[in-house]
Structure 1
Amino acid sequence: MSNANIEATIAVLRDVLGERLSTGPSILDQHSHDEAYTRPVLPDAVAFPETTEEVSQILKTCSQHGCPVIPYGIGSSLEGHIVPIHGGITVDTSRMNKVLQVNESDLDAVVEPGVTRVQLNEELRATGLMFTVDPGADATLGGMAATRASGTNTVRYGTMADNVLALEVVLPDGQIIETGSRARKSSSGYDLTHLFVGSEGTLGIITKLTVKLRGQPEHVAAATCAFPDIESAVNTVILAIQIGLPLARVELLDELQMKGMNIYNPDMGLPETPHLFLEFHGSEAGVAEQVESFAALVGEHGGSDFQWATKTEDRNRLWQARHNAYYAGRSLRPGANGVVTDCCVPISKLSECLMRAKDLAAELGFLAPIVGHVGDGNFHLLILVDPESDDELGRAKDLVEAVNMLALEFGGTVSGEHGIGAGKRKYLVQEHGAAYALMGTLKKAIDPGNIMNPGKLVTLN
C-alpha cells in the first residue's frame, strides 16, 4: 500500500472523527502489540469510533483506498492478533462500551463490543444474573467473541461460541449486517453468527453482541487438592465428568507451577506437587453432595490436602491467584519473559500428552510450568526465556512447534482458546487439511481486498 493511499485514508477519517483519529507516538505504540512475543509493528493511525455508523464509514474509506484495518479491543490477546503487520488503521472499540439491554426474563444481554466482562457483571450484580465466560484478563466482549475465548468456567458453561446468540457486524465494504436473533435456537439459513465468532477480525468488525446470561448460583464452594502426579489428578477429573458431577471450574497446575505460586503468593503455602483448583455451583445441599462425591474420587486416586473456601473473599483470593499464574510462573526465573503455548486434546489423552510435553521442555533445557483447564483437555506451557537471547527464543519456538504437533498427534487442536493470529497460522494446514482452503475461499468472498487484519489466520494468494 502506498504512502499516498495511507495519507488519503487518514485525511478522510480525520474529517469523520476529528481528534478521535490519533497518530500520536504513544497511542501508536500502545496499539503495536498485544501480550504475545510477536514483534511490535506500529499502525499508521488509530481510530476511536463511538457508533456503528462511524465504524461503517471507517471501513468504507479503508476499502476504497485498500488500507489495512486491524480491530482492537483491549490488547490482551496472546498470538499477535492485533499487531498491524502491514500497517494501516487500528480501530479501537473501547469507546463503544454501553450495555444496551439486559433482558432478565430471557437471560440475555445486548452490549457494544468495548464492554468488558467485569463491567457487564458489575451491571448484572443486582439482577441475580451473571455472564460466565472468564478468560482471566478483563477482555472486551467484542475481542472475546472474535477470538472465541473461553477460560476457567468452560467445563460447565461453555466458550464464547456457546454464549453468543447474535451479532451486528460491519463488513469490509462498510455494509452493516445482523446475524442470529435473541431466540435460543434457529434452523434459519447458514450459521453466520458462528462464522464471525472466532474469525479474529479477518472478516469484519463486531459492533454489537447478544450474549447469554446465567443465574448466579445460590451457593459456591472452591477448593484445592494435591496429587502425587499429573496422571492421578487428570484421572480424578475424567472419572468425575464420566459420572456426571457438574464441576463449575477445574484447573490443573503442575509441581513447577505450584512452586511459582508459592513464590508469587507467599501466604499460599501449598505443597509443591500437582494440584487441582476446583469450584462447585448449586444449592447448598447440592454443592455439599458434589463435594462429598468428588472428595471420594480424590481419595481413590491418592489425592490429599483438601483446602476448602466458601467465603467470597477466600474464593476470590484463590481464583485471583490462578488468574495470576502467568506472573507466578515467571517468578521461577526473575527477569525472564514467558512464551505461552495453548493446545487442547481429548481428556483421555491429556495426562500422556502433558508428560510428553514436559519431557520435550526438559530435553530443550527449559523451565516450563504447566496450567490447564483439565475438564476440557486444554493446557498451557509457560516457557521461560531470557529476553536478550535469540537462541533461547528460537528454541522456545521449536518447543511450541513440537507441542503443537504433539496435540495434533493425539487428535487435538493447536489452539483451545488463544486463537491463531499470526503465531499459529502455519499449523492450520496440518490440522484442517482441505478445510483450510475453504476458509480462504470464505475470506476472499467476504473480504476480496484483504484489508481485514491481513496476515492473520488465513493466507490469501
Structure 2
Amino acid sequence: MTKDWITQLQNTLKADQCSTSASELYRHSHDESDHAPVEPEIVCFPESTEDVKAIMHIAREASVAITPFGVGSGLEGQVIPLNAGISINFERMNRIVKFSPEDLLVTVQPGITRLQLNHIINRHGLQFPIDPGADASIGGMAATNASGTTAVRYGVMRDQIVDLEVVLADGTLLHTGTKAKKSSSGYHLTGLFTGSEGTLGVITEITLKLHGIPEHTIAASCTFETPHQCAEAAHTILLSGIPVQRMEFVDAYSIAKVNVYGNYGLPEKHSLFFEFAGMKGAAEEEAAMAKELLTDLDCENWRVAADSEERALIWKARHEMAYAYRHQAGMTITGGDVCVPISKLPELIDYARELIAESGLEGGVLGHIGDGNFHTSIAYDAKDPSQQLAAEEINEQLAYRAIELEGTCTGEHGVGLGKMKYQNAEHGAAVAVMKNMKRMLDPNNLLNPGKIFP
C-alpha cells in the first residue's frame, strides 16, 4: 500500500518528477564510496525552487527524511539516504539563472555540472576553475566544499561562492550573501552552508566567482627517487613564490597502475606534475625557474608537454588514477584525503607509505601536494574481513596523525559517514556548537540525517 506522503508527492509534482522504480531507487542508494548502500522510498526530480519547497513541506508534515543527490560522485557516502525517505535529484535544475561576465559572476542551479558550466562560459574567455576530477554538480561541490587540482592557485569552493539560495527545513527561503565580492555585514552564512553536506538546508542556487582563462598554459612533470623528496621539492616551489596553477604528487605504485589502465607510458617513479599559466612569457619563465630549482634537488625526467594535446593527456592520466585502482577485478577501494600544513607534508607522506607497506595491502599515495592535501587509495578484498580491517586502520591512523600535525581528517571529500569518528578529535568543543546549529535549523533531524554527526 502506497504511503500517504508518497501519494501526496506524486499528486503535487508532475508525473515524471517522481520515481519508485527499482533502478532509480538503486541509483540513489550509493555513491562511489565503499559505504553500504541504502535505498530511498522515492526519488524526486524538482525543476524549480518552488518544487523543492513543496517537497520540503510534505516531508516536514510527514516527518520524512530528505537527502539531496547530485551526480553520485562523492567518496564519503553523503548521498546515501540512511533513513530511506526522499532522495532529491537536482539533474533537472541545471540552468544558468544569471550570467554577468562584466562582474565575473554567474548564478546557477545546483544540478549543472562543472563541465557543462565551463562549456558555456569558456566562449566568453571565462572559466570556473575548481576541478575535483569528476564532472560533479556545482550543488554537490558546494555541499562538500570540494576543491581539486587547481586549489593551490584558486582555493576551494568556499572561496568561489558569494551567495547561496537555501531552503531551510521549516520552508524558509533565504540568501546567505549578496553579489558583492566581499562583505563585513553579519555572520558568514555562505561559509556555514558551504560544506554542510545538506544537513542544514537544501541549496537551490549558487552564485560563483569566475576567472579569466590564462593566455598560455604549460604542463610539466619530473620524477624523484622517494616520496619524501617529492614533498620537499613541492615545498621548495611554494616557498619560491612561483604561482603554480597545479602541482600534483603521484607515487610510483600509482603511476604503474595508471600506465596499465590507460597505456600512458609514464616513467614509473615517484612523480610531480605541474601546470604554469598566465601571459606566455611569464608562464615560460616560471617553468624555467621551477626546472632550475628542481634540478638542484636532483629531479629526473623533467619533461614539458609539447602541445595542448599532450598537456590534456597528462591531466587525463592524473584524473584517471582513482579509476585505475577501481579497475581491479574483485577488489574494493577505500582511501583517505588528509590535509596538513605544507611543512608537515614530507613527514605525513612517509608515514602513509609506511602504513601501507606494513599492512601488506596494495595501495598508493597521490594528491594535491601544493595545498598540503593528499589521498591514499587502498585495494582490499571485501570478502576478507581482515583485509577490510587493515585498510580501515590505515585511514584511521593517517587521519589521527594529520590531526596531531594540526591538519584535518578530510581536505576535500567531506565528512559524510566515513569521517564522523574524527570530529571530536579535530574540533573539540566546537562540535557542540555545530550540533546546536544543526538542532536550531533542523530540529526534527530531517535533512540528510546521520551525516557529519552520529
Could you tell me the TM-score, scaled by structure 2's length? 0.98
Q: 2:433 is matched with which residue?
A: 438
Which residue pairs with 2:78 in the alignment? Answer: 81
Residues 74 and 140 in structure 1, CA contact (< 8 A), matched pair in contact too:
yes
Structure 2: which amino acid aligns with 1:261? V
Deviations 1:119-164 (A, max 9, x none): 0000012100000100000000000000000000000011000001
Identify the residue that residue 298 of structure 2 maps to in structure 1.
302
> Which residue of 53, 61, 64 maps to 1:56?
53
What is the aligned partner in structure 2 of residue 133 from structure 1?
Answer: 130
- Residue 411 (structure 2) aligns with: 416
Q: Structure 1 counterpart of 2:75, which letter?
A: L
Q: Which residue of 1 aligns with 2:226?
A: 229
Correspondence for 2:352: 357
C-alpha contact (below 8 Å) 1:260/1:330 kept by paired residues: no
- CA RMSD between the two structures: 1.3
| Aligned equivalent of 1:276 | 272
Contact residue 352 and residue 365 of structure 2 kept, 8 A: no
SS in 1 for 2:256: helix
Give the aligned partner of residue 342 of structure 1. Answer: 337
Stretches (4+) displaced over 6 A:
none
Across the two proteins, how many residue pairs are aligned to each other?
A: 453
Q: CA deviation at 1:258?
A: 1.4
Letter in 2 for 1:92: N
The Cα of 1:330 is off from its aligned counterpart by: 4.3
Q: Are 2:158 and 1:161 aligned?
A: yes
Match of 1:34 in 2: 31
**1:192-231, aligned counterparts within 5 Å?**
192-231=189-228
Note if contact 2:228-2:349 (Cα within 8 Å) is conserved in structure 1.
Answer: no
227, 232, 239: which one aligns with 2:236: 239
1:271 CA drift (Å):
2.1
Q: Unmatched 5+ residue regions in structure 2?
A: none
Query: Structure 1 residue 120 and structure 2 residue 117: aligned?
Result: yes
Report the equivalent of 1:65: 62
Q: 2:444 aligns with which of 418, 433, 449?
A: 449
Q: Is the 8 A contact 1:147 1:418 kept in 2?
A: yes
Kept in 1, the 8 Å contact 2:163–2:176? The answer is: yes
- The residue matched to 2:12 in structure 1 has which SS? helix
Between the aligned partners of 1:310 and 1:174, the Cα distance in structure 2 is: 54
Preserved contact between residue 425 and residue 458 of structure 1 (Cα < 8 Å): yes
In structure 2, what is the equivalent of residue 142 of structure 1?
139
CA contact (8 A) 1:233 1:301 kept: no
Counterpart amino acid of residue 178 in structure 1: H
Alignment counterpart, residue 101 of structure 1, candidates 88, 98, 122: 98
Output one character per residue of 1:251-301: Cα deviation in whole Å (capped at 9) or x when no partner.
Answer: 0001111111221222x2222211001101101100111011100111011
Look up the equivalent residue of 2:355 and give its one-letter code.
Answer: L
1:388 to 379, 383, 391: 383
Q: Quote the offset at 1:359 in angstroms.
A: 0.9
**Which amino acid counterpart does residue 133 of structure 2 have in structure 1?**
G
Query: What is the rounded CA distance, in whole Å, between the counterparts of 1:310 and 1:415 in structure 2?
Result: 35
Cα displacement (A) at 1:239: 1.5
Q: CA deviation at 1:108?
A: 0.9
Which stretch shifts more, 235-244 or 114-123? 235-244
Looking at structure 2, the residues matched to 261 and 32 of structure 1 have their Cα atoms a distance apart, in angstroms, of: 29
1:293 aligns with 2:289: yes
Q: How far 1:341 sits from its partner (Å)? A: 1.1
* Counterpart residue number, 2:6: 10
Q: Which runs of 5+ in 1 are unaligned?
A: none
The separation in 2 between residues aligned to 1:35 and 1:328, in whole angstroms, is 14
1:364-379 aligned at under 5 Å gives the runs 364-379=359-374
Checking the alignment, whether the CA contact within 8 Å between 1:443 and 1:458 is kept in structure 2 is no
Letter in 1 for 2:385: D
**Structure 1 equivalent of residue 314 of structure 2:** 318
Rounded to whole Å, the distance in 2 between the matches of 1:229 and 1:360 is 16
State the Cα deviation string for residues 158-209 of structure 1 (Å, max 9, x = none).
1000001101000012211111111010011011111100000001110000
Q: Give the conservation status (yes or no) of the 8 Å contact 1:58–1:174.
A: no
2:256 aligns with: 259
Q: 1:24 aligns with which of 21, 25, 42?
A: 21
1:395-414 deviation digits (Å, cap 9, x = unpaired): 21122111111111211100
Instruction: Spell out, residue by residue over 1:350-391, the C-alpha distance to the aligned partner (whole angstroms, 9 max, x if none).
Output: 111111111111111111111110011111110001132232
Structure 2 counterpart SS, 1:344: coil
**Deviation for aligned residue 1:421:** 0.3
Structure 1 residue 70: deviation in Å? 0.1
Paired with 1:92 and 1:83, the residues of 2 have a C-alpha distance of 12
CA distance in 2, matches of 1:96, 1:359: 46
